[in-house]
Amino acid sequence: MPRTARDVVFVDGVRTPFGKAGPKGLYAETRADDMIVSVIRELLRRNPALPPERIGEVAVAATTQTGDQGLTIGRSAAILAGLPKSVPGYAIDRMCAGAMTAVTTTAGSIALGATDVAVAGGVEHMGHHPMGSGVDPNPRFVAERLVDPSALSMGATAENLHDRFPAITRARADAYALASQRKVAAAYAAGQIQPDLVPVAIRSAEAGYTGSMGWGLATADEPPRPDTTIEALAGLKTPFRPHGRVTAGNSAGLNDGATGCVIAAQDVAAELGLDARMRLIDFSFAGVDPEVMGIGPVPATEAVLARNDLTIDDIGLIEVNEAFAVQVLAFLDHFKIADDDPRVNPWGGAIALGHPLASSGVRLMIQLAREFAERPAVRYGLTTMCVGLGMGGTVLWENLHA
């Protein structure tokens, strides 16, 4: 039977404040599944017009699917959040693009008509599950030269990107990182980020982030360093290569956090009285050489633009994940975009806010939706990111406030 694809819209998104991974971080004694449960419950609280039984799927991404991020976390989180047992769920892994893939995958089922409404997001507790923990890479990757050995270290791939594009200097990467910190500080001062943060109860058995033992409340992102200076950035060590160019200051940190959003068929959102904020037009995932995985957003974006007969000049807002400054700058240089173009990450990015791997894709969408509301003259926006093992992902959105 012939079918017509339905339009899919982004209704709402929320996230936990992001924390620093480690024994003194915000979420050192908080379970990963409890973090995503907090997000799901907040989405339901903020959208009372959405009957929980209308949710047709809960897709939750995690890069390390074990421990408190295992047990098919989409399904287990749905049960823990109190959704009807009739609501199914599943887990997704596309490394850093996990939450982005959770959105595009559920959007496909909505467009086909198999599902009307979905909750999609991601969680990463890098304090409990350090990147690569428990992984056993097949020796054939290196023995048969399927990839360069540096492909298995994200920091090393960023140094490789500096090698490929020598115009992207350490000084330029540091300047970009400083700008990200300043933009996040300005966005916080303007109250632009806080509306989509879910307060999370946190416990500390010893004096740590909260300053005392006992219970506290996480209400703001922990990673930003608003007092960062260019001199301090210039003095940081280069852990991935002697005399290299990648530092902790011009890269995203190791973080804990969870994100989630409600997406729906546009006609169903209208039927239920849900406020649709942006429409998903198209998406693309692309593969690149794993040893320069940071270039992944370029072919993914080119594919989306070409299919929709658009150029980068038609895009009024670009939310690009700042895994490394060099990766963002390579993307900007390819599309001939200035380092300080106001379309790009106007409220800052992951260098300041943090990058809890699989959760970050939906953070980009949350910020883009808010920025769309403030800029009704902008019609199109992108969310884009590089992905480990040599991939990139891009989603094209249309502003429904335009």
> Catalytic residue numbers?
96, 355, 386
Encode 249-261: b = buried (16+ Cβ within 10 Å), e = exposed: bbbbbbbbbbbbb
d(Cα 57, Cα 115) in Å, to the nearest integer? 7
Integer angstrom CA distances of residue 319 from 1, 170, 244, 283, 312:
38, 22, 27, 14, 13
Identify which of 47, 55, 121, 58 has the alpha carbon closest to the alpha carbon of residue 265: 55
Task: State CA 159 to chain mean position distance.
Answer: 22
